[in-house]
Amino acid sequence: MSELIIHGPNQLEGEIAIHGAKNSTLPLMAAALLCEEPCVLHNCPNLSDVDTSLKILRHLGCGAERSGGDIFIDPRTTDHFDIPDALMREMRSSIIFLGAIISSMGQALLSFPGGCELGPRPIDLHLAALRKMGIVINENHGCLECSVPDGIHGAVINLSFPSVGATENIIITAVRAEGTTIITNAAREPEIWDLADFLNSCGAKISGAGESTVTIEGVKHLSGCEHRVIPDRIAAATYLAAAAITGSTLTITDIIAEHLAPVFPAFDEAGCKLEIKDNKLKIISPKRLRRIKNIRTMPYPGFPTDAQAPVMAMTTLADGTSMFVENIFESRYKHVGELLRLGANIKVESRVAVVEGVSRLSGAPVEAADLRGGAALVIAGLAADGITEISGLKHLDRGYENIEKNLAQLGADVKRI
Ligand code: UD1
């Protein structure tokens, strides 16, 4: 079992390039199944979730290879329509393959994604939408058995919540369906726009991606294409929080600043100065952060739930009381207990967490229970006095490429043992 060992407190300095977005790469890899020619995805992060997607594609019979940041997918040899339970469990967001498999193979057999670190992971919105498009889905013995007796057709789908995964699954399913699909109350995250951009380059007819209403006119054929994955806005926010808590000046590069706009007010309020030039962002942090009055996680363009834990870690050392309201996931405060071990003062009541800033954190053994919660522990560990040992790294490795090497290169005393 590996651990990160951080000797703190640290200060960071220099430049860090932000890798491609995990949450774009996964749906793009699934969408490539729809194509009739090979695709190349550039700027793919080297993460365990991406490896799991490669395994899923290979299991389905696709050619799927990685070379550095490039992933080559040849969907022409696809000959399976199932995802084994072990792979579904490795990555619960593998449900994103559902629409792609059913659309390309006419049937699909996936095990049901059960609960996960963030609480129950319902897929009712995905299933209701796909059923409306003519897909018959039987839920049997923990499996989803899907078939298309009369073809997939377009539909008007009003989502009761702008679910990212459901919006992606519907877009992917609708791209080669008969007729037009209209999604209202669609998720507006940049990753949706990236997916539509990729599919449109392959010949799809998707308009409105990134807005609340997305229209997809079904097409008969999709070619392949080369596509560059957008930068990972959550990794960027994580490095910003690491700089902020350590009082550092840091430049993050290869970003799209517009995608980070929902987190900027938090850093402004904490007293950090942000300087944006093209695809670079310099953060100049004060010696002591100010409290952030109120952060409510919301669908994009609101404050992202994925940045809640990293930014909460940063407020543990702020001057004053910060409040967080988690509106997206039920069980997203698992990092709190571990932050308390480091000396933080946080109270949680249902969806609300109140952080009283303390003047000092002290290193301790802690365990990551989920991906972004793990990042919160790294951020706190960087600022804590003494040694912080972080276990549960499999969660961190799902979302951050070379995190310890990157931080070490910025001057932090971090090692993986
Ligand atoms: C995606 C992201 C994840 C991020 C989340 C919210 C990927 C791979 N993951 O997850 O990092 O935290 O968006 O920004 O892109 N819900 C239902 N029924 C459904 C689907 C969702 O009730 O059928 C609920 C969920 O339980 C949750 C909320 O909707 O409470 C948001 O989930 P959703 O937007 O679907 O998140 P994911 O796509 O799973």
Pick out the chain residues at pLDDT < 50.
none
Question: What's residue 117's pLDDT?
Answer: 75
Are 320 and 204 within one domain? no
Choose the residue to mutate in 47, 164, 311 for probing ligand 1, maximizing ligand atoms within 8 Å of C-beta: 164
- Residue that finishes a domain, picked among 209, 228, 247: 228
Question: What's residue 115's pLDDT?
Answer: 58
Strands annotated E in 170-248:
180-184, 205-207, 214-217, 226-228
- The tokens for 286 are 């004060």
Please provide the distance, in angstroms rounded to a whole number, between the alpha carbons at the two ends of the chain.
9
User: With a 6 A CB cut-off, is 25 part of the ligand 1 pocket?
Assistant: no
- Residue whose CA lies nearest to ligand 1 atom number 2: 23
- Residue that finishes a domain, picked among 180, 204, 228: 228
- DSSP state letter for 36: S
Are 128 and 273 within one domain? no
Question: What's residue 386's pLDDT?
Answer: 98
Sequence letter at residue 412: A
Give the torsion sign (CA, 371, 372, 373, 375).
positive
Closest C-alpha to 370, from 310, 301, 303:
310
Are 373 and 351 within one domain? yes
Q: If you measure from the C-alpha of residue 77 to the centroid of ligand 1, how many angstroms do you get, rounded to a whole number?
A: 31
User: With a 6 A CB cut-off, is 371 part of the ligand 1 pocket?
Assistant: no
Question: What's residue 116's pLDDT?
Answer: 67
Q: Put the strands of the sheet holding 249-253 in their side by side order.
A: 13-17, 249-253, 280-284, 273-277
- The tokens for 80 are 């399976």
116 is known as an active-site residue: yes
Non-local (6+) Cβ contacts of 368 within 8 A are: 335, 338, 374, 377, 390, 391, 392, 393, 395, 396
**Dihedral pair phi/psi, residue 351, rounded to 5°:** -90, 0
**What pTM was computed for the model?**
0.97
Are 210 and 245 within one domain? no
Q: Structural domain tally of the chain?
A: 2
Question: What's residue 121's pLDDT?
Answer: 76
Considering 116, 202, 225, 272, which one is annotated as catalytic?
116
Q: If you measure from the C-alpha of residue 9 to the centroid of ligand 1, how many angstroms do you get, rounded to a whole number?
A: 35
Are 57 and 147 within one domain? yes
Domain span at residue 180 reads: 22-228
User: With a 6 A CB cut-off, is 23 part of the ligand 1 pocket?
Assistant: yes
Q: Which atom of ligand 1 is nearest to the CA of 26?
A: 8
Question: What's residue 249's pLDDT?
Answer: 98
Are 159 and 256 within one domain? no
Round to whole Å and give the CA distance between 102 and 100: 6
- Residue whose CA lies nearest to ligand 1 atom number 35: 163
Are 205 and 256 within one domain? no
Indicate which CATH number applies to the domain containing 308.
3.65.10.10
Question: What's residue 365's pLDDT?
Answer: 98
User: With a 6 A CB cut-off, is 306 part of the ligand 1 pocket?
Assistant: yes
